[in-house]
Structure 1
Amino acid sequence: MFDGGELRLVLLKLIADEPRHGYDLIRAIEALSGGAYVPSPGVIYPTITLLDEMGFIEEQQSEGAKKRFAVTEAGQAHLSEHADRVAALLARLQALGEHRQRADAAPIRRAMSGLKMAVMERFGGGDASQEMVHQVAAMIDDLAQKVERLK
C-alpha cells in the first residue's frame, strides 16, 4: 500500500492529529480506508520506532502498558514541508475506502444478473402466455418501486 517514507508520513500525520499508540494507528488507517487496508503491527511498530529515533514523535505519559506518542516540533515541521504529499496519501486511503464501498454492491449486481438469466430462460422460448409476461413485469415494477422507497 505504501512505501516506508509514505507510511511514515501517514503515521506522523495521524499522531499530529492526536496522540496515539500503535493499535490506534492501525485502527485509524483501517477506518480511513473503509476497512480495505489494515496495516500489520509488524509494519506499524518499527515505523513508530523510526519516527521516534528521527525526533519526529516522542512518548507521552500514559496509563497502562501501551506507549502513546505525540508529534514534536520537528515532526510538525516535517509534516508542513510535505503537506501536499500527506494530503495525497490520505486521499489515496479515502479513495480505497470509497472503492470498497462501491465494490460492496457486488451482491446486487449478482442478483440482477440472476434475475435477468431467469427471465431470459423462462421467456426466451416464446412459450409463455401474455398473462405470465404481465405478471412478471408487475413483480419487477413492484420491486423497483420498493427499492426507490428505501431509505
Structure 2
Amino acid sequence: MKGRGGGEHFGRGGPGGPFGRHRGGPFGGRGGRMFDPGALRLVVLGLIAEEPRHGYDIIKALEAKFQGAYSPSPGAIYPMLQMLEEADLVVSQADGNKRLFSITEQGRAYLEENRADLDRINEQVQHVAGRMGGAAIGDELRALAWAIRSKLRGGGWSAEQAQKARDILKTARRELEDL
C-alpha cells in the first residue's frame, strides 16, 4: 500500500515492525517536530524498558535527555502510549489516577530488533542536546526577555539607560556571533 508521501506504508508485521521503517535521522523536519514519530516511539519504548513509567515521567525523561532544551507535549506522548499498548508492546495498569506503563516481552523483542536504530537515535539526541546548549541558554534568554519586558512595563528607562541597555545587547550579540 502507498503512504501519503508516495512511499511504501508498512503496518503491523511489515518491515520495521508496527511503526514502519525509520528513515533518515530521528528528527522530523516539518511542522517544528523535534522527532520523527517512529523515532520518538522507539525512544519512548526504550525509556519504558529501563523502568515502568507514567506519561509525565516519560515527558520529564525526554526533557532530561535534551538537557531541558526540548520537552514533548502531552498530546504527542499520551496517544503514542495508547498506540504502543494497542500494538502489545507495553501494558498499563492503574496507579491512582494515573497509568503506569511497562514493557511486554513482545516490546522487548521489538526493541532488540531495533537496537541499532535506538542507539543511533540516542547518539543523535546527545549530539543535538550538546549543540543546543541545553536548558541554560534557553533559560537565560527567557529571563532576559522577562527582565526587559518588566522594566518597560514598569516605566521603562531614561534615554541614557536605554542606550546602555542597547549597547549591552549589541556587545552580547557580537560576542555570541564570534563564538
Q: 1:97 offset after TM fit, Å?
A: 1.8
RMSD: 2.6
**Residues 1:20 and 2:33 are matched in the alignment:** no
Q: Deviations over 1:62-97 (max 9, x none)?
A: 2x2110100000000000000010011112222222
Q: 1:60 offset after TM fit, Å?
A: 3.2
SS at 2:46 equivalent: helix
CA distance in 1, matches of 2:123, 2:61: 14
Q: 1:101 offset after TM fit, Å?
A: 2.3
CA distance in 1, matches of 2:69, 2:175: 26
Q: Which has the higher contact order (CA 8 A, sep 6+)?
A: 1
Aligned to 2:37: 4
**Residues 1:99 and 2:131 are matched in the alignment:** yes
Could you tell me which runs of 5 or more consecutive residues in structure 1 were left unpaired when the two chains were aligned. Answer: 115-151
CA distance in 2, matches of 1:80, 1:43: 24
Structure 1 residues 45-84: aligned runs within 5 Å = 45-62=78-95, 64-84=96-116
Aligned to 1:110: 172
Aligned to 2:68: 35
SS at 1:67 equivalent: strand
State which structure, 1 or 2, has the greater radius of gyration over its C-alpha atoms.
1
Which letter maps to 1:23?
Y
- What is the number of equivalent residue pairs in this alignment? 112
CA distance in 1, matches of 2:94, 2:173: 53
Q: 1:111 offset after TM fit, Å?
A: 8.0
Identity %: 42
CA 1:111 to 1:45, structure 2 compared with 1: closer, same or farther past 3 Å? closer
TM-score by length of 2: 0.56
Kindly indicate which of the two structures has a greater share of residues assigned to helix: 1
Which letter maps to 1:28?
A
CA distance in 1, matches of 2:53, 2:122: 17
TM-score by length of 1: 0.66
CA distance in 1, matches of 2:175, 2:112: 50
